[in-house]
Structure 1
Amino acid sequence: MPQAADILSDPEINQAYEDVRSDKSDTTWLVLKYASASSDNLKLAGTGTGAIAEMTESLADDEAAYAYVRIKLGNDEYSERVKFAFVVWAGPHVKVMRKAKMSFQSGQVKQVIRTYAVEVQTGDRRDLDGEAVTLKLRKAMGANCRFSSLLVGRGCVADFWCR
Protein backbone atom coordinates (compact mmCIF):
# COMPACT_ATOMS: atom_id res chain seq x y z
CA MET A 1 0.00 0.00 0.00
CA PRO A 2 1.20 3.52 -0.73
CA GLN A 3 2.24 5.75 2.17
CA ALA A 4 0.18 8.75 3.29
CA ALA A 5 2.75 11.09 1.75
CA ASP A 6 2.21 9.37 -1.59
CA ILE A 7 -1.58 9.39 -1.75
CA LEU A 8 -1.78 12.93 -0.33
CA SER A 9 1.01 14.50 -2.38
CA ASP A 10 -1.17 17.32 -3.77
CA PRO A 11 0.26 20.45 -2.04
CA GLU A 12 -3.15 22.14 -2.18
CA ILE A 13 -4.58 19.61 0.31
CA ASN A 14 -2.64 20.86 3.33
CA GLN A 15 -3.30 24.50 2.45
CA ALA A 16 -7.04 23.84 2.13
CA TYR A 17 -7.02 22.04 5.50
CA GLU A 18 -5.33 25.05 7.13
CA ASP A 19 -7.85 27.40 5.47
CA VAL A 20 -10.82 25.45 6.87
CA ARG A 21 -9.25 25.54 10.35
CA SER A 22 -8.36 29.24 10.24
CA ASP A 23 -10.63 31.84 11.81
CA LYS A 24 -9.24 34.30 9.27
CA SER A 25 -10.45 32.32 6.24
CA ASP A 26 -13.99 32.14 4.86
CA THR A 27 -13.40 28.54 3.71
CA THR A 28 -15.70 26.18 5.65
CA TRP A 29 -15.16 22.86 3.89
CA LEU A 30 -12.94 20.82 1.62
CA VAL A 31 -13.45 17.62 -0.36
CA LEU A 32 -10.76 15.14 -1.37
CA LYS A 33 -11.44 12.67 -4.17
CA TYR A 34 -9.42 9.98 -5.90
CA ALA A 35 -7.52 11.19 -8.97
CA SER A 36 -9.15 8.43 -11.08
CA ALA A 37 -11.15 5.23 -10.66
CA SER A 38 -7.95 3.15 -10.58
CA SER A 39 -5.75 5.56 -8.62
CA ASP A 40 -5.11 5.58 -4.88
CA ASN A 41 -3.88 9.18 -5.02
CA LEU A 42 -6.14 11.87 -3.62
CA LYS A 43 -6.59 15.35 -5.01
CA LEU A 44 -8.31 18.43 -3.70
CA ALA A 45 -11.65 18.30 -5.50
CA GLY A 46 -13.14 21.44 -4.03
CA THR A 47 -13.51 23.93 -1.23
CA GLY A 48 -16.34 26.22 -0.30
CA THR A 49 -17.65 28.87 2.03
CA GLY A 50 -21.17 27.54 2.53
CA ALA A 51 -22.77 25.10 4.91
CA ILE A 52 -22.49 21.32 4.93
CA ALA A 53 -25.33 21.14 2.37
CA GLU A 54 -23.09 22.91 -0.16
CA MET A 55 -20.31 20.38 0.49
CA THR A 56 -22.71 17.45 0.16
CA GLU A 57 -23.72 18.62 -3.34
CA SER A 58 -20.17 17.89 -4.52
CA LEU A 59 -20.41 14.19 -3.54
CA ALA A 60 -21.56 11.74 -6.23
CA ASP A 61 -23.25 8.39 -5.65
CA ASP A 62 -20.50 6.56 -7.57
CA GLU A 63 -17.58 8.29 -5.85
CA ALA A 64 -15.48 7.77 -2.76
CA ALA A 65 -14.37 10.95 -1.03
CA TYR A 66 -13.19 12.49 2.20
CA ALA A 67 -14.44 15.82 3.47
CA TYR A 68 -13.65 18.21 6.29
CA VAL A 69 -16.28 20.67 7.49
CA ARG A 70 -16.22 23.64 9.86
CA ILE A 71 -19.47 24.15 11.78
CA LYS A 72 -20.36 26.91 14.26
CA LEU A 73 -22.41 25.80 17.24
CA GLY A 74 -23.85 27.64 20.17
CA ASN A 75 -26.85 27.86 22.41
CA ASP A 76 -26.77 31.66 22.09
CA GLU A 77 -24.51 34.38 20.69
CA TYR A 78 -22.28 34.24 23.78
CA SER A 79 -21.50 30.54 23.68
CA GLU A 80 -20.65 30.07 20.01
CA ARG A 81 -17.95 27.49 19.29
CA VAL A 82 -16.37 26.14 16.15
CA LYS A 83 -16.26 22.37 15.71
CA PHE A 84 -15.03 20.20 12.87
CA ALA A 85 -16.40 17.04 11.27
CA PHE A 86 -14.44 14.54 9.19
CA VAL A 87 -16.54 12.75 6.57
CA VAL A 88 -15.68 9.46 4.89
CA TRP A 89 -18.03 9.20 1.92
CA ALA A 90 -18.55 5.99 -0.06
CA GLY A 91 -21.54 6.57 -2.30
CA PRO A 92 -24.08 3.78 -2.74
CA HIS A 93 -22.63 2.84 -6.15
CA VAL A 94 -18.95 2.73 -5.13
CA LYS A 95 -17.22 -0.55 -5.99
CA VAL A 96 -16.49 -3.02 -3.20
CA MET A 97 -12.72 -2.92 -3.75
CA ARG A 98 -12.64 0.88 -3.39
CA LYS A 99 -14.63 0.63 -0.15
CA ALA A 100 -12.17 -1.96 1.16
CA LYS A 101 -9.20 0.28 0.34
CA MET A 102 -10.89 3.22 2.02
CA SER A 103 -10.91 1.43 5.35
CA PHE A 104 -7.12 1.49 5.28
CA GLN A 105 -6.62 4.78 3.47
CA SER A 106 -8.87 6.77 5.79
CA GLY A 107 -6.18 6.26 8.43
CA GLN A 108 -3.67 7.82 6.08
CA VAL A 109 -5.97 10.77 5.40
CA LYS A 110 -6.25 11.29 9.16
CA GLN A 111 -2.50 11.94 9.23
CA VAL A 112 -3.26 15.19 7.40
CA ILE A 113 -6.79 15.92 8.63
CA ARG A 114 -5.96 15.51 12.28
CA THR A 115 -8.34 17.65 14.31
CA TYR A 116 -12.07 16.97 14.37
CA ALA A 117 -14.80 16.38 16.94
CA VAL A 118 -16.76 13.72 15.05
CA GLU A 119 -16.23 11.34 12.16
CA VAL A 120 -19.14 10.50 9.88
CA GLN A 121 -18.69 7.38 7.73
CA THR A 122 -21.57 7.11 5.31
CA GLY A 123 -22.92 6.53 1.85
CA ASP A 124 -26.31 8.03 2.71
CA ARG A 125 -26.88 11.75 2.18
CA ARG A 126 -29.35 11.84 5.07
CA ASP A 127 -26.42 11.27 7.44
CA LEU A 128 -24.91 14.51 6.12
CA ASP A 129 -27.98 16.62 6.78
CA GLY A 130 -26.93 19.77 8.65
CA GLU A 131 -29.11 18.96 11.65
CA ALA A 132 -27.89 15.36 11.87
CA VAL A 133 -24.22 16.39 11.89
CA THR A 134 -24.91 19.25 14.31
CA LEU A 135 -26.60 16.83 16.70
CA LYS A 136 -23.56 14.51 16.55
CA LEU A 137 -21.28 17.47 17.29
CA ARG A 138 -23.44 18.60 20.21
CA LYS A 139 -23.39 15.10 21.68
CA ALA A 140 -19.61 15.04 21.34
CA MET A 141 -19.42 18.36 23.22
CA GLY A 142 -21.12 16.90 26.30
CA ALA A 143 -24.09 18.51 28.04
CA ASN A 144 -26.67 19.71 25.58
CA CYS A 145 -29.84 21.29 26.84
CA ARG A 146 -30.82 22.80 23.51
CA PHE A 147 -32.42 19.55 22.39
CA SER A 148 -34.05 18.84 25.75
CA SER A 149 -37.52 19.49 24.31
CA LEU A 150 -37.01 16.41 22.15
CA LEU A 151 -36.12 14.30 25.16
CA VAL A 152 -38.39 15.53 27.96
CA GLY A 153 -40.93 12.93 28.99
CA ARG A 154 -39.08 10.05 27.37
CA GLY A 155 -37.25 8.89 30.46
CA CYS A 156 -34.04 10.67 29.53
CA VAL A 157 -31.60 11.92 32.14
CA ALA A 158 -31.87 15.26 30.32
CA ASP A 159 -35.38 15.60 31.80
CA PHE A 160 -33.77 16.33 35.16
CA TRP A 161 -30.79 18.41 34.06
CA CYS A 162 -32.40 20.52 31.37
CA ARG A 163 -35.53 21.80 33.11
Structure 2
Amino acid sequence: MVSKHFLMMNRCVAKYNGKKIYLAGTGTDYSEFLDNAGDDERMYSYVRFQDVDGTTGARKKMYAFITWIGPSVSPLAKARVSTDKAFVKQIFTNFGKEILADDASELAEAKVLNILLKAEGAAYGTGK
Protein backbone atom coordinates (compact mmCIF):
# COMPACT_ATOMS: atom_id res chain seq x y z
CA MET A 1 0.00 0.00 0.00
CA VAL A 2 1.22 3.49 -0.85
CA SER A 3 1.57 6.05 1.90
CA LYS A 4 -0.91 8.87 1.30
CA HIS A 5 1.56 11.58 2.22
CA PHE A 6 3.45 11.30 -1.08
CA LEU A 7 2.20 13.62 -3.77
CA MET A 8 3.39 14.25 -7.28
CA MET A 9 4.80 17.72 -7.21
CA ASN A 10 6.04 18.29 -10.76
CA ARG A 11 5.86 16.73 -14.18
CA CYS A 12 7.22 17.49 -17.60
CA VAL A 13 5.90 15.81 -20.76
CA ALA A 14 7.55 15.66 -24.18
CA LYS A 15 5.56 14.37 -27.16
CA TYR A 16 5.87 14.02 -30.91
CA ASN A 17 4.69 16.39 -33.61
CA GLY A 18 5.48 14.39 -36.72
CA LYS A 19 9.15 13.45 -36.32
CA LYS A 20 9.96 16.29 -33.91
CA ILE A 21 9.80 16.03 -30.14
CA TYR A 22 8.45 19.06 -28.29
CA LEU A 23 7.59 20.06 -24.73
CA ALA A 24 3.88 19.26 -24.47
CA GLY A 25 3.35 20.50 -20.95
CA THR A 26 4.31 20.82 -17.33
CA GLY A 27 2.24 20.79 -14.18
CA THR A 28 1.55 19.35 -10.78
CA ASP A 29 -1.60 17.27 -11.28
CA TYR A 30 -1.17 13.54 -11.97
CA SER A 31 -4.56 13.25 -13.68
CA GLU A 32 -3.47 15.91 -16.18
CA PHE A 33 -0.34 13.85 -16.78
CA LEU A 34 -2.49 10.79 -17.53
CA ASP A 35 -4.57 12.81 -20.01
CA ASN A 36 -1.46 13.05 -22.21
CA ALA A 37 -1.24 9.27 -22.57
CA GLY A 38 -3.50 8.67 -25.56
CA ASP A 39 -3.75 5.31 -27.31
CA ASP A 40 -2.04 6.70 -30.41
CA GLU A 41 0.56 8.78 -28.52
CA ARG A 42 4.24 8.38 -27.72
CA MET A 43 5.57 10.48 -24.87
CA TYR A 44 8.45 10.88 -22.49
CA SER A 45 7.74 12.12 -18.98
CA TYR A 46 9.80 13.21 -16.03
CA VAL A 47 7.85 13.17 -12.77
CA ARG A 48 8.80 14.08 -9.21
CA PHE A 49 7.08 12.82 -6.07
CA GLN A 50 7.78 14.37 -2.67
CA ASP A 51 7.08 13.32 0.90
CA VAL A 52 4.80 16.12 2.08
CA ASP A 53 4.03 14.60 5.49
CA GLY A 54 7.45 15.09 6.98
CA THR A 55 6.90 12.60 9.82
CA THR A 56 10.22 10.95 8.97
CA GLY A 57 12.04 14.25 9.36
CA ALA A 58 13.25 14.11 5.77
CA ARG A 59 11.76 15.72 2.69
CA LYS A 60 12.21 12.76 0.38
CA LYS A 61 12.03 13.40 -3.36
CA MET A 62 11.77 10.62 -5.93
CA TYR A 63 12.05 10.96 -9.71
CA ALA A 64 10.85 8.72 -12.52
CA PHE A 65 11.47 8.80 -16.26
CA ILE A 66 8.41 7.33 -17.96
CA THR A 67 8.18 6.37 -21.61
CA TRP A 68 4.63 5.83 -22.88
CA ILE A 69 3.87 4.01 -26.12
CA GLY A 70 0.14 3.79 -26.71
CA PRO A 71 -1.35 0.49 -27.90
CA SER A 72 -2.41 2.01 -31.25
CA VAL A 73 1.06 3.29 -32.16
CA SER A 74 2.40 1.80 -35.41
CA PRO A 75 5.35 -0.64 -35.24
CA LEU A 76 7.61 1.82 -37.09
CA ALA A 77 6.80 4.62 -34.64
CA LYS A 78 7.40 2.25 -31.72
CA ALA A 79 10.85 1.42 -33.09
CA ARG A 80 11.71 5.11 -33.34
CA VAL A 81 11.01 5.57 -29.62
CA SER A 82 14.02 3.47 -28.58
CA THR A 83 16.36 5.60 -30.69
CA ASP A 84 14.85 8.93 -29.67
CA LYS A 85 14.73 8.00 -25.98
CA ALA A 86 18.53 8.16 -25.79
CA PHE A 87 18.41 11.81 -26.86
CA VAL A 88 15.59 12.70 -24.47
CA LYS A 89 17.47 11.07 -21.57
CA GLN A 90 20.29 13.55 -22.18
CA ILE A 91 17.86 16.21 -20.94
CA PHE A 92 16.17 14.24 -18.14
CA THR A 93 19.32 12.82 -16.57
CA ASN A 94 18.64 12.13 -12.89
CA PHE A 95 15.89 9.71 -11.96
CA GLY A 96 15.45 6.82 -9.57
CA LYS A 97 13.63 4.53 -11.96
CA GLU A 98 12.90 4.28 -15.66
CA ILE A 99 9.47 2.94 -16.56
CA LEU A 100 8.35 1.78 -20.02
CA ALA A 101 4.55 1.61 -20.28
CA ASP A 102 2.27 0.48 -23.08
CA ASP A 103 -0.85 -0.15 -21.00
CA ALA A 104 -2.67 2.61 -19.10
CA SER A 105 -2.75 0.52 -15.91
CA GLU A 106 1.05 0.74 -15.77
CA LEU A 107 0.74 4.52 -15.35
CA ALA A 108 -1.48 4.39 -12.27
CA GLU A 109 -0.12 6.80 -9.69
CA ALA A 110 -0.01 4.16 -6.93
CA LYS A 111 1.85 1.72 -9.19
CA VAL A 112 4.48 4.29 -10.23
CA LEU A 113 4.97 5.39 -6.62
CA ASN A 114 5.37 1.77 -5.44
CA ILE A 115 8.03 1.19 -8.12
CA LEU A 116 9.90 4.27 -6.93
CA LEU A 117 9.65 3.28 -3.27
CA LYS A 118 11.02 -0.20 -4.04
CA ALA A 119 13.88 1.31 -6.02
CA GLU A 120 14.80 3.45 -3.02
CA GLY A 121 15.62 0.41 -0.90
CA ALA A 122 15.15 0.09 2.84
CA ALA A 123 12.61 2.25 4.67
CA TYR A 124 14.61 2.94 7.82
CA GLY A 125 12.65 3.95 10.90
CA THR A 126 9.26 3.10 9.42
CA GLY A 127 8.90 -0.42 10.80
CA LYS A 128 8.54 -1.88 7.29
Bin for the TM-score computed over the shorter chain: 0.7 to 0.9
Report deviation, 1:120.
Answer: 0.9
Contact 1:118 1:137 (8 Å CA) reproduced:
yes
Identical-residue share of aligned pairs (%): 32
After superposition, what is the alpha-carbon deviation per residue over 1:122-146, rounded to whole angstroms, capped at 9, x for unaligned? 1111111111111111111101379
Which structure carries more helix by proportion? 1
The whole-number CA distance in structure 1 between the counterparts of 2:77 and 2:106 is: 20
Task: Look up the match of 1:64.
Answer: 42
TM-score (norm 1): 0.66
Task: Look up the match of 2:121.
Answer: 142
After superposition, what is the alpha-carbon deviation per residue over 1:3-44, rounded to whole angstroms, capped at 9, x for unaligned? xxxxxxxxxxxxxxxxxxxxxxxx7111101112xx1x2111
The whole-number CA distance in structure 2 between the counterparts of 1:136 and 1:145 is: 17
Contact 1:73 1:134 (8 Å CA) reproduced:
no
Structure 2 unpaired stretches of 5+: 1-8
Task: Look up the match of 1:17.
Answer: none
Residue 126 (structure 1) aligned with residue 105 (structure 2): yes
SS at match of 2:62: strand
TM-score (norm 2): 0.82
Corresponding residue to 1:82 among 31, 55, 61: 61
Considering Cα pairs closer than 8 Å and 6+ residues apart, tell me whether 1 or 2 has the greater RCO. 2
Residue 32 (structure 1) aligned with residue 10 (structure 2): no
The whole-number CA distance in structure 2 between the counterparts of 1:85 and 1:68 is: 6
Corresponding residue to 1:55 among 33, 36, 46: 33
The runs of at least 4 aligned residues of structure 1 exceeding 6 Å deviation read none
Corresponding residue to 1:113 among 92, 98, 105: 92
Structure 1 unpaired stretches of 5+: 1-26, 149-160
The whole-number CA distance in structure 1 between the counterparts of 2:103 and 2:53 is: 28
The whole-number CA distance in structure 2 between the counterparts of 1:141 and 1:53 is: 24
| Count of equivalent residues | 119
For the pair shown, the structure with the greater C-alpha radius of gyration is: 1
Task: Look up the match of 1:99.
Answer: 78
Which structure carries more strand by proportion? 2
After superposition, what is the alpha-carbon deviation per residue over 1:49-78, rounded to whole angstroms, capped at 9, x for unaligned? 22x332111221101110111111478532
